[in-house]
Amino acid sequence: MNAANRSVCILLLAGAVLAGCRDRDKETPLPVTPPPPVTPPPPVTPPVTYDGARPGTMVQSEKQKFSVDTVAAGLTSPWGMAFLPDGRILVTEKAGQLRVVREGRLQPGSIGGVPAVYTNGQGGLLDIALHPDYASNGWLYFTYAAPGPGGGGTTLARARLQGDALTDVQTLFQAQPFLPSGVHFGSRIAFDGQGHVFVSTGDRGTPAQAQQLTNHWGKIMRLRDDGQVPADNPFAGTAGARPEIWSYGHRNVQGLYYDGAARRLWAHEHGPRGGDELNRVEGGKNYGWPLITYGVNYDGTPVSGATQGPGLEQPVRYWVPSIAPSGLAVVSSPQYPNWQGNVLVGALVGTHLARVELTDGQYAREEKLLNKIGRVRAVAQGPDGYVYVLTEGPGLLYKLTPR
């Protein structure tokens, strides 16, 4: 074959390959159409790649330079974290262990007195948080899936830590009814600093329950910090409704944060295949699941075929494809002057940390941080002002140290 013929063959072959790539790109679009009220996401920011096996890596993000420092390793399916005044960090493990990190080391053994947990699928020991007045009252709060008649249910409890054990354990709330399902328990805890505590659940794999006020599934609850129901809860006087409900129409809320400065409750939830949401949560509002969603069923069929409807709230931000959000914090620390008011969202499937910028409470843009660091289960701003990131698989606790 002469040189001219070889050139023609090469060109034809290259054209066929490119056409095949275009065809593959067309095979997997999701049938979602953003409505006018939701601002489309900007072009994807090139991710900052980080190899989690190399602690101390320096990252130059768009607005902040920081190092990724390992605080503790060796955790097994960690879920939540809380910071004690003496510098220790409490970390929950899903199987039911409450671990202690002291001076950069995971301590052997675990805290005693943790109630038995329902470890079916996604169930187990979940979130943990200190009461805002912990220094004076010693109460720490935690959520877990409790076993009981009919299966298990998301439970909010509080206890005091004495030595290496929990004491004075009190059950404040249990989501009803208990179900045998092993999915969508939620759950996160947030305090508003005004005597109230919020706790989230999921729909337990039965979407229709999220729209029914006769159960606690697919809801965010608002309680007094002693577990009593506030008289001004939106459904406290509604016949047949569970009075603890603050908002409903949620699929599986694993991020909850009360921004005291702005007096706003933020939550994010898992969508099905696509349609993860970041929401500004207000009392009495319906957040739509499963009547509206930007996702589809796992087999690709529509959930409802609708992305908006009368009386149904729109998300501030949604993700297609899913990032599987877990853990939520709003940056207020002077350690990160260029991240003030930004929302940090952990990503399980996305294996990164999303930094979401807001303008007047509305979505503006997003940056992907710590790409491929691992399944990010929780993110928190510690009392020292630093951002901490908890990953599962591997079970590591990181600190983002500004440089």
Position 14 pLDDT exceeds 50:
no
Alpha-carbon torsion (381, 225, 347, 42), positive or negative: negative
Which residue spans within 203-292 are E strands per DSSP? 219-224, 245-248, 253-259, 264-269, 276-281
**Closest CA relative to residue 142, chosen from 166, 163, 106:** 166
Of the CATH numbers 3.30.70.20, 3.30.2270.10, 1.10.150.120, 2.120.10.30, which one belongs to the domain with range 80-326? 2.120.10.30
Count of CB atoms within 10 A of residue 283's CB?
15
Q: Is residue 395 within 8 Å of residue 77, measured between CB atoms?
A: yes
Q: What is the three-class DSSP state of 136?
A: helix
Q: Is residue 318 within 8 Å of residue 307, measured between CB atoms?
A: no
Encode pLDDT of 59-75 as tens digits: 999 999 999 999 999 99
Position 32 pLDDT exceeds 70:
no
Q: Is residue 321 within 8 Å of residue 294, measured between CB atoms?
A: no
Encode pLDDT of 309-361 as tens digits: 999 999 999 999 999 999 999 999 999 999 999 999 999 999 999 999 999 99
Position 20 pLDDT exceeds 70:
no
- DSSP code at position 116: P
Instruction: Put residue 381 in one of left, alpha, beta given phi > 0 → left and psi -120 to 50 → alpha.
Output: beta
Banded model confidence at residue 398, pLDDT cuts 50, 70, 90: very high
Banded model confidence at residue 375, pLDDT cuts 50, 70, 90: very high
Alpha carbon distance 278, 287 (integer Å): 11
* Cα–Cα–Cα angle for 259, 77, 215, rounded to 5 degrees: 60
Alpha carbon distance 192, 15 (integer Å): 60
How confident is the model at residue 56, as a pLDDT? Answer: 75
Identify which has the larger pLDDT, 349 or 39.
349
Where do the H-state alpha helices sit in 120-198? 134-137
Alpha-carbon torsion (238, 242, 244, 248), positive or negative: negative
What one-letter code names the amino acid at 49?
T
Position 219 pLDDT exceeds 50:
yes
How confident is the model at residue 285, as a pLDDT? Answer: 98
Q: What is the three-class DSSP state of 380?
A: strand
What is the average pLDDT value for the chain, to the nearest integer?
89
Copy the structure tokens of residue 349.
Answer: 């499937």
Q: Is residue 107 within 8 Å of residue 73, measured between CB atoms?
A: no
Q: State the pTM of this model.
A: 0.87
Encode pLDDT of 109-149 as tens digits: 999 999 999 999 999 999 999 999 999 999 999 999 999 99
Q: What is the three-class DSSP state of 144?
A: strand
Q: Where are the domains of the chain?
A: 80-326
Alpha carbon distance 347, 357 (integer Å): 16
Q: Is residue 279 within 8 Å of residue 328, measured between CB atoms?
A: no
Q: Is the peptide bond before 177 cis (omega within 30 degrees of 0)?
A: yes
Q: What is the three-class DSSP state of 264?
A: strand
Active-site residue list: 184
Q: Is residue 197 within 8 Å of residue 225, measured between CB atoms?
A: yes
Encode pLDDT of 158-202 as tens digits: 999 999 999 999 999 999 999 999 999 999 999 999 999 999 999
Banded model confidence at residue 391, pLDDT cuts 50, 70, 90: very high
Q: What are the DSSP calls for 311-364, one per residue?
A: T-PPPSEEESS---EEEEEE---TTSGGGTTPEEEEETTTTEEEEEEEETTEEE
- DSSP code at position 38: S
How confident is the model at residue 43, as a pLDDT? Answer: 38
